[in-house]
Amino acid sequence: MHMQALTERVEKAMSLPQQAGEGGAETAAGATKPSLSPARSMTAGKTVDEVWAELNKSPLFMTELEENDDTAALQALGYEGSALENGADFKERGNECFKARGYVDAKEFYTKGILVLAAEERKRARGEATTNPGGEADSDDEVGRQREMLEALYVNRAACHLGLANYRSCWLDGAAALRLNPRNVKACYRSARALLAVDRVAEADAVCARGLALDADNAALRDAAADIGT
């Protein structure tokens, strides 16, 4: 694939709407939907939650929160502010690099944000309380916002991996985002594109079916479905 075409695809992926229905405006008037593949035919009569339950059985989505030896080194730097504030800062810096097509640098910033917030998730998974810099326990609202930020960081890093042709890393990040939010359309789209790039057509089709169950008229997902069907 030519680099320009790949760049355009990645930039399109970054702007893909999260919520169902928002992508309808991108669909050309009168456009016809692609014929349903076997996977999409099987999911056509199911609810979104039923589709997700089926997809979650795939080894592709049996992922765990990211853990890396860099976590201790990152914490040792002593960033000021809360985990959410640090994660948001890394996300913003990553976005700036991504807009300039600096996918490698963007990926590094997103990774730092992921390490900060995934560490908080692992603490909670072990039954430990997470706290702010003042030592106060994180509220439910704070925890929810941390998870939303972590989800966004995974999805954005997936776009970097897609642009760098790191396809396995792309779909793993997509899977991590979907475990945090099973309704993340961007994660479905990017995972499907990465899987299709390495000819894992059946898995790409399954993830695309998941996305179309969330947003049947999403233009980017429809394009992916058409490519899968060819």
pLDDT tens digit sequence for 97-135 = 999 999 999 999 999 999 999 999 999 999 999 999 889
Does residue 220 register a pLDDT over 50?
yes
Q: In the prediction, which pLDDT does 230 show?
A: 78
Residue 188 to residue 179: CA distance in whole angstroms: 11
Q: Token digits for 173? A: 């990040």
- 29/220: higher pLDDT: 220
pTM: 0.73
- Radius of gyration of the chain from its Cα atoms, rounded to whole angstroms: 18
- For residue 121, give the 3-state DSSP assignment: helix
- 39/150: higher pLDDT: 150
Please tell me what DSSP assigns to residue 17: -
Q: In the prediction, which pLDDT does 81 show?
A: 86
Question: What percent of the chain clears pLDDT 90, i.e. is strictly above it?
Answer: 63
- Output the CA torsion 44→20→49→172 (10° steps): 100
pLDDT digits 0-9 by tens, 44-92 = 555 555 555 555 555 555 555 455 545 554 554 556 789 999 999 999 9
Mean pLDDT to the nearest integer, 210-216? 95
Q: Where are the alpha helices (DSSP H) in the chain?
A: 3-14, 38-43, 48-55, 70-76, 83-99, 103-125, 140-163, 167-180, 185-197, 201-214, 219-229
Domain 3-229, what fold?
Answer: 1.25.40
- Show me where the domains of the chain are located: 3-229
Does residue 39 register a pLDDT over 50?
no
